[in-house]
Structure 1
Amino acid sequence: MTEPLKEISNEFLYLLEGIESTHSTTIERSTNAILLCRKTLHTLKNQVLHSNFASLEDEINFFKNTKQISIMPLIYYSEVRSFELQFPVANSIAQKKHINKKLAKLNRFFIYNIDFVQYIKQGHSHFDHQYFTRKFSDSYHIISSKFYFQDPDFTTARDMLLGKVKAYQKFIEYLKSRFARISLNNSIGQSSKLNSSSNLHWTSSKAGLTELIYALHSTSSINNGDADIKEIAVALQNTFQFDLGDFYKTYAEIKTRKISRTKFLDTLSTGLTSFMEESEN
């Protein structure tokens, strides 16, 4: 059963990558991702119920690893979608308060489940037969009112909890990025009048400017490395009168490039070299 499950998971990851790379809204992407996760989990469930695991190790591997490939994004995008639907539109103060409240709730979750979190973080496996086989599903740990019922033939004592731990870790990074974006937009708004007389406009891509920002930061080229990413981003956006939007997300997309992750910087190097050669003729 290993090969069919691998094919299902690989197809899922391919389709999910396509959804995440679209230019639709966060809510639209989240909704489509949730539907894909549910469909994939249904397919996995049918596969599991109509086949037998070759060994106890295979069953543990499925619930601890394979199922997590689709259950983690389901929980993550469910949280993102719910968060964005309830996100205040009034002002930045209310928005930051909303984010901090959510972060506090997530922190309580990790404190409450600290033993299990450490078990996973340290790579332990001595309780795996209890946590990730259906034989011990009677010791199911109730972790959320969102899941009123789970099929005992497709659920173990801790597989959903593991999905939540991984999803919430990712969701925390999303919330931090959201908070930083609000602060960035405020900084741009406050300083835009000071730079309104500039005739310089960024006419390349968002990805290009993002590459430049991270390159300056990674090489400690500004303030001997004491300037953080956000400060550099604000300065360049103000100078070139250009709104990068969520440049953290853009950077994450740059890192997933298959060919060149420094395409813009490579173009700069090639362009400068050509300019020098032409000026010598």
Structure 2
Amino acid sequence: MTEPLKEISTEFLELLEEIESTRSTTIVRSKNAILLCRNTLYTLKKLVLEFNFDSHDDEIKFFKHTKQISIIPLIYYSEVRSFELQFPVANCTTQKKYINKKIAKLNRFFIYNIDFVQYIQQGHSHFDHQYFTRKFSDSYHIVSSKFYFQDPDFTTARDMLLGKVKAYQKFIDYLKNRLATISLNRTKGQSNNLTTSSNLHWTSSKAGLTELIYALYSTCSINNGDADIKEIAVALQNTFQFDLGDFYKTYAEIKTRKISRTKFLDTLSTGLTSFMEESEK
């Protein structure tokens, strides 16, 4: 069953990246991502019910890692969509208060589940048999207050909680970026009366924009080097109406590339050179 699971996960990640790179609104992207996650989970469920795991270790690996590939974005985009639909259209103060209230609620979740959070963050595995096999699913209370995707034949005692922990960590980053964007827009509005809206949409990849952000930062191209990475990231996300998510993680993945770690920047250089040559003909 290993190979089919790998193929499903690979295809899912490719389709998710396509959705995240579209020019549609955050709400539309979130809706499409949610549908993709649910369809993938249904496919995984059918596969799991059709074939038995060869061992408890395989079952643990599936519920602790493989299933999380689609569970985490399902929870994350469910939260993002709900947040954006309910986001107040009032003044900046009201909006910031709303975001801070959300962050405080998420912090309470992490405090309430601090033992499990530490278990995951410290890479422990001694309770994996109880947490991530279906044999013990009735021995632990369900801690998820929201229904995302639960089935007695496809859910363990803590696989959903693991998904929430990972997704909420990502959602907090999203909220902080929204908070920073509001502050940035407010500062721009006070310094001049120009509108902060833009018809520009980033249509390349998430990794490409991340490369650009770090290139601008590393070359001190913004504010003579006084602007930090997050400030540059927020500005470009706002300008291009594009959600980068956890761009620190994306940067870490870029650094592990085997061929070219500056793939997008290389493409820019090649494209500009070709454009110049064509214009001189």
In the superposition, the TM-score normalised over structure 1's length comes to 0.78
Asked whether the 8 Å contact 1:88–1:95 carries over to 2, the reply is: yes
Give the counterpart letter for 2:116 in structure 1.
F
Q: Which has the higher contact order (CA 8 A, sep 6+)?
A: 2
Q: Does 1:180 align with 2:142?
A: no
Decide whether aligned partners of structure 1 residues 30 and 206 sit closer, same or farther in structure 2, where only a CA change above 3 A counts: closer
RMSD value, Cα: 3.7
Decide whether aligned partners of structure 1 residues 267 and 94 sit closer, same or farther in structure 2, where only a CA change above 3 A counts: farther
Instruction: Answer with 49-58 or 220-229: which moved more.
Output: 220-229
Decide whether aligned partners of structure 1 residues 36 and 233 sit closer, same or farther in structure 2, where only a CA change above 3 A counts: closer
| Structure 2 partner of 1:110 | 110
| Structure 1 partner of 2:257 | none
Structure 1 stretches lacking a partner, 5+ long: 197-202, 238-242, 275-281
- Cα separation, 1, equivalents of 2:155 and 2:233: 45
- Cα separation, 1, equivalents of 2:103 and 2:66: 28
Shift in Å, 1:224? 7.7
Structure 2 stretches lacking a partner, 5+ long: 255-259
Pairs within 5 Å for 1:1-281: 1-147=1-147, 150-192=150-192, 214-219=214-219, 226-229=226-229, 244-246=239-241, 249=244, 252=247, 260-263=263-266, 266=269
Cα deviations by residue, 1:56-108 (Å, 9 ceiling, x for unpaired): 11000000000000011100000000000000011111111110000000000
Which structure has the bigger radius of gyration?
A: 1
How many equivalent pairs are there?
Answer: 258
Instruction: Answer with 222-231 or 51-60: which moved more.
Output: 222-231
Cα deviations by residue, 1:117-165 (Å, 9 ceiling, x for unpaired): 1111111111100100001001234223322983211110100000000
Give the counterpart letter for 2:239 in structure 1.
L
Asked whether the 8 Å contact 2:16–2:33 carries over to 1, the reply is: yes
Asked whether the 8 Å contact 1:30–1:81 carries over to 2, the reply is: yes
Decide whether aligned partners of structure 1 residues 91 and 39 sit closer, same or farther in structure 2, where only a CA change above 3 A counts: same
Give the counterpart letter for 1:249 in structure 2.
L
Shift in Å, 1:169? 0.6
- Cα separation, 1, equivalents of 2:12 and 2:214: 31
- Give aligned-pair identity as a percent: 73
Cα deviations by residue, 1:163-206 (Å, 9 ceiling, x for unpaired): 0000001101101111111111111111125x99xxxxxx9x99
Give the counterpart letter for 1:260 in structure 2.
K
Asked whether the 8 Å contact 1:92–1:182 carries over to 2, the reply is: yes
- Cα separation, 1, equivalents of 2:247 and 2:263: 14
In the superposition, the TM-score normalised over structure 2's length comes to 0.78
- Cα separation, 2, equivalents of 1:232 and 1:35: 32
Q: What SS does the aligned partner of 1:6 have?
A: helix
